[in-house]
Amino acid sequence: MGESLFDLTGRTALVTGGGRGLGREIAEVLAEYGANIAVCSRKLENCEQTVRHLKDRYAIKAKAYACNVSSEEDVDSTVVEVLKDFGKLDILVNNSGATWGEKVEEMPLEAWQKVMNVNVTGTFLMSKAVGKHMIENEYGKIINIGSVAGLKAEPPNVLNAIGYSTSKAAIHHFTKDLARKWAEYGITVNALAPGFFESKMTKHVIEKNADAIKGKNPMKKLGDPNSLKSAALFLASGGSDYITGQIIAIDGGSSL
């Protein structure tokens, strides 16, 4: 009975930024439990690699799409394509993200705007486009990727990326607000707030500060992909049907 709670057979998920890193990990676990997978990012080649990997390992349908999530035209046309190819969308994972490390007093305006456009505006545009379909179907699971950086302020020697941390705090509130607005349509909206996981985006920070980051963490370690994958599976499945508007920190207790 336990496994059936997490069975995603017949569901279709769209994972933005699914070509690499945490997005690819999430796409993989959803496929493992039976979901058909659409992945999109600006770099189509990365998504196509993910799709080939998923098709080789799991008996599911998967397809890659090129999409700049900060462009409304791109988002709308991609969602139309996905719906044409798969027939429906049950799960949306807003994972596409950008960051920019710089002192506040030195950060260029265009860097701030790029991070906001991808992280916040992209999450809004994709949720809006997919949400219209979910409202019609009276069912949907939206999972936004926030960050522990949006829950607490780090010292500059650990993380100096105010645009990123501000954008993730915005994602957390967007999650709560959207959950409140769309609960009546059978749509749940939750967010994962990862701590420090090894990924392309965090590689530089971890290389410089791994010991300090681990030392401050109550569990004395960095995140492992399975922790994130299991939480994403939970929020995408029927096991979380009575949970909405929640920010789940996956951080070994570092935000406590």
> What architecture is the 2-249 domain classified under in CATH?
3-Layer(aba) Sandwich (3.40)
Assessment of whether the complete model's pTM goes beyond 0.85 = yes
- Give pLDDT tens digits for 83-106: 999 999 999 999 999 999 989 999
Q: Which of 139, 164, 185, 242 is catalytic?
A: 164
- Return the structure tokens found at 132: 């219209």
Q: Is 213 exposed, middle or buried (0-12, 13-18, 19+ CB in 10 A)?
A: buried
- Give pLDDT tens digits for 125-162: 999 999 999 999 999 999 999 999 999 998 887 788 99
Catalytic, 242? Answer no
Helix 21-32 and helix 44-57, axial crossing angle in degrees, nearest 10: 30
